Amino acid sequence: MPAPGELTFIAPRGAKKPPRHLADLTPEERREAVVALGEKPFRAQQLSRHYFGRFTADPAQWTDVPAAARGRLADALLPSLMTEVRHLSCDDGATRKTLWRLHDGTMVESVLMRYPDRVTMCVSSQAGCGMNCPFCATGQAGLDRNLSTAEIVHQIVDGMRALRDGEVPGGPARLSNIVFMGMGEPLANYRRVTGAIRRLTDEAPHGVGLSQRGITVSTVGLVPAMRRLADEGFSCRLAVSLHAPDDELRDTLVPVNTRWKVREVLDAAWEYADRSGRRISIEYALIRDINDQAWRADRLGRLLKGRGAHVNLIPLNPTPGSKWTASRPEDERAFVAGLEAHGVPVTVRDTRGQEIDGACGQLAATERA
Ligand code: SAH
Q: Which residues contact 184 (CB under 8 A, 6 or more apart)?
A: 124, 125, 126, 127, 128, 129, 138, 143, 146, 147
- Determine the residue of 138, 220, 314 to mutate for testing ligand 1's pocket, defined as the one with the most ligand atoms within 8 A of the Cβ atom: 314
Positive or negative: CA dihedral 285, 286, 289, 292 = positive
Q: Which is the closest atom of ligand 1 to the Cα of 361? A: 19
What's the pLDDT at 349? 83
26 CA → ligand 1 middle, Å? 31
Protein residue whose Cα sits closest to atom 14 of ligand 1: 241
Dist. CA 327 → ligand 1 center (Å): 16
In this prediction, residue 339 carries a pLDDT of 98
The mean per-residue pLDDT over the stretch 110-137 comes to: 94
- Separation of alpha carbons 234 and 222, rounded Å: 16
- Where do the domains of the chain lie, and which CATH numbers do they carry? 22-77 (1.10.150.530), 82-368 (3.20.20.70)
Q: Could you give the C-alpha distances from 316 to 136, 204, 221, 369, in angstroms and in order?
A: 9, 40, 19, 23
User: Quick one: which atom of ligand 1 is closest to the CA of 182?
Assistant: 5
Ligand 1 pocket check for 57: Cβ under 6 Å? no
- Reference 282, options 266, 267, 258; nearest CA is 266
Residue 26, phi then psi, degrees to nearest 5: -75, 165
Q: In this model, does residue 6 exceed pLDDT 50?
A: no
With 70 as the cut, is the pLDDT of residue 308 above it? Answer: yes
pLDDT of residue 13: 52
What atom of ligand 1 comes closest to residue 220's alpha carbon?
7
Q: Is the CB of 185 under 6 A from ligand 1?
A: yes
Q: How far is CA 70 from CA 39, 44, 66, 79, in A?
A: 11, 12, 7, 12
- Give the separation between CA 162 and CA 112, rounded to whole angstroms: 10
In DSSP notation, 168-223 reads: SSSSS----EEEE-SSS-GGGGHHHHHHHHHHHHSPTTTS----GGGEEEEES--H
Asked whether 360 lines ligand 1 (CB < 6 A), one says yes
* pLDDT, tens digit, 9 for 90 and up, residues 253-265: 999 999 999 999 9
- Percent of the chain with pLDDT strictly greater than 90: 82
Per-residue model confidence as pLDDT tens digits over 180-196: 999 999 999 999 999 99
Q: What are 159-182's pLDDT values in tens digits? A: 999 999 999 989 999 999 999 999
Predicted pLDDT at 140: 85
What is the average pLDDT value for the chain, to the nearest integer?
Answer: 91
| 58-63 average pLDDT score | 94
Range with lowest mean pLDDT among 3-12, 28-37, 93-102, 218-227: 3-12
Centre of ligand 1 from the C-alpha of residue 303, in Å: 21
> Which atom of ligand 1 lies closest to the CA of 133?
15
What is the predicted pLDDT for the residue at 92? 83
89-103: average pLDDT: 90
Residue nearest to atom 24 of ligand 1 (CA): 316
Report pLDDT for 97: 92
State whether the beta carbon of 158 lies less than 6 angstroms from ligand 1.
no
C-alpha of residue 345 to centroid of ligand 1, in Å = 20
Pocket test for ligand 1, best of 217, 218, 327, 363 (most atoms within 8 A of CB): 218
Query: Which of 123, 131, 135, 190 for a ligand 1 pocket mutation test, highest count of atoms within 8 Å of Cβ?
Result: 135
Distance 301 CA to ligand 1 centre (A): 21
What are the residues facing 347 on neighbouring strands? 312
- Per-residue pLDDT, 149: 98
Residue closest by Cα to atom 3 of ligand 1: 181
User: Ligand 1, closest atom to CA 243?
Assistant: 15
Q: Which residue has the higher pLDDT, 13 or 238?
A: 238
The answer to whether 333 and 313 are in contact (CB under 8 A) is: no
| Among 11-15, 71-75, 95-99, 212-216, the least confident range | 11-15
Point out the residues that are catalytic.
109, 360
Geometric angle at alpha carbon 198, from 150 and 189, rounded to 5°: 60
Confidence of residue 322 (pLDDT cuts 50, 70, 90): confident
* Cα–ligand 1 centroid distance for 243 (angstroms): 9
For residue 323, the one-letter residue type is K
114 CA distance to ligand 1 middle (Å): 20
300, β-bridge pairs: none
Mutate to test the pocket of ligand 1, among 241, 256, 257 (most ligand atoms within 8 A of CB): 241
With contact defined as beta carbons under 8 Å apart, do 274 and 309 qualify? no
Low-confidence winner among 15-24, 201-210, 352-361 (lowest mean pLDDT) = 352-361
